[in-house]
Structure 1
Amino acid sequence: MTIKPGVGINDIKFGMSESQILDLIGKPTKIIIDEDDDDKNPVYQYNELKLRLTFYTEYNGKLGYIRVANPKIEIKGNPIIGIQIEDVFKSYELSKEHWNEENYFTFNSYFNEKKWTTLNVEYDVVTDIEFGYLFDKSGENPIWPN
C-alpha cells in the first residue's frame, strides 16, 4: 500500500464517493458517525486493512480524509508504521522543522500543513498516519485528484 500525499492510497483517491469506495474495496467493518461532529461525516472503518476513510457531507459525500495504521503502508517505497519518527521524516524528504509537534499525555503528533499530513507517534515510532486532500493557494478550495 502506497500513500500519495494529497491523492490517496493506491487506487483509493480523495474525491471518490462512498459507492466508488464500496465497489473498490467492499463493505466496511463498521461505519462510525461522530455525534459531536456537526457535519455528521461518515467514517468507514476497515479492520483488516487498519484503515479509516472519512466522507465529507459538505462536499457531497466525497472522500476527504484517510487514517491508516497498516504496517504495509509506504511512502516513496519506505515503510512508515513501526518506524522511528526521525527515519520517517527522511522518507518524506522534509526536515523536522516542517512539522508542527503536539505533545499529548501518552503520544506525540506531528503535522505538516503543506502535505496536510499527521504522524501519530508513541515510543518514538509511528503508530498511524492521517492525511487529507490538499487546498489551492487561497487555502479555501479543495484540490481533488484526477
Structure 2
Amino acid sequence: MKINPKNGIDQLLFGMKQNDVEKRYGTPNKQFKDEDGNIIYLYNSPKLRLTFYEDEDFRLGYIITSNSEATLLDKKIIGENLEKIKTELPFKSWEQEDFDSTENHFNESNWLILQAEFGEVIRVEIGAIINDNDEFDWKFN
C-alpha cells in the first residue's frame, strides 16, 4: 500500500467522492458522521479511515492508515523506528506534539503526520494540500 504525499494512498486520490471509493474498495465496514458533519469510512482489512469533508461536497480530504504494508517513498513505515524513518525521508521540517504515550510528528508541506508510540510508527495520516488560493488541491476530478 503506497502512501503518496499530497495525492492519497494506494488507489485513493484526494477529491474522490464516496461512490468513487466504493467502486475500488466496496462498501465500508463502518460509516458515521463526525462532530463536523464529515462522513467517515472505515475499512478493516486495509486499515483505512477516510474522511469526506462536508463543506467540500463530501470529497475525500483526509486518510489515516495503520496498515503494516504501508510504504512511504518505498520505505516500510508502520512498526519502524520513528527517528530512523524521519532521517531517511527527504522531509526535514517536523513539528512534534505529545499525547500521553503517543507523539505526532507533523510535516506541514506534505500534510503528513507520523504517529508513534514507544518510538515506533503506529499510524500515518495524510491530508489534501491547500493551495496558494486557500483552496484544496484536489487530485481527482
Question: Normalised by the shorter chain, which TM-score bucket?
Answer: over 0.9
Aligned to 2:57: 60
Where structure 1 has 5 or more consecutive residues not aligned to the other structure, the ranges are none
Hey, what's the Cα distance between the residues in 1 that align with 2:128 and 2:70? 18
Which residues in structure 2 correspond to 1:108-127 (within 5 Å)?
Answer: 108-127=103-122
Partner of 1:133: 128
So what's the TM-score if we normalise by structure 1? 0.91
Cα-to-partner distance string for 1:53-104 (whole Å, 9 max, x where unaligned): 1000111110000000000000111001000011221342123xx1100011
Q: Secondary structure at the match of 1:142?
A: coil
Q: CA RMSD in A?
A: 1.1
Moved over 2 A (4+): none
Unaligned residue ranges in structure 2 (runs of 5+): none
Alignment of 1:80 with 2:80, yes or no, is: no
Partner in structure 2 of residue 50 of structure 1: 47
* Paired residues of 2:114 and 2:125 also in contact (CA < 8 A): yes
Alignment match of 2:86 (pick from 75, 80, 89) = 89
Task: State the number of aligned residues.
Answer: 140
Structure 2 CA distance for aligned equivalents of residues 125 and 118 of structure 1: 13
**Aligned-residue identity in percent:** 32
Verify: 1:145 aligned to 2:122, yes or no.
Answer: no
Q: Distance in 2 between matches of 1:61 and 1:136?
A: 19
CA distance in 2, matches of 1:92, 1:25: 29
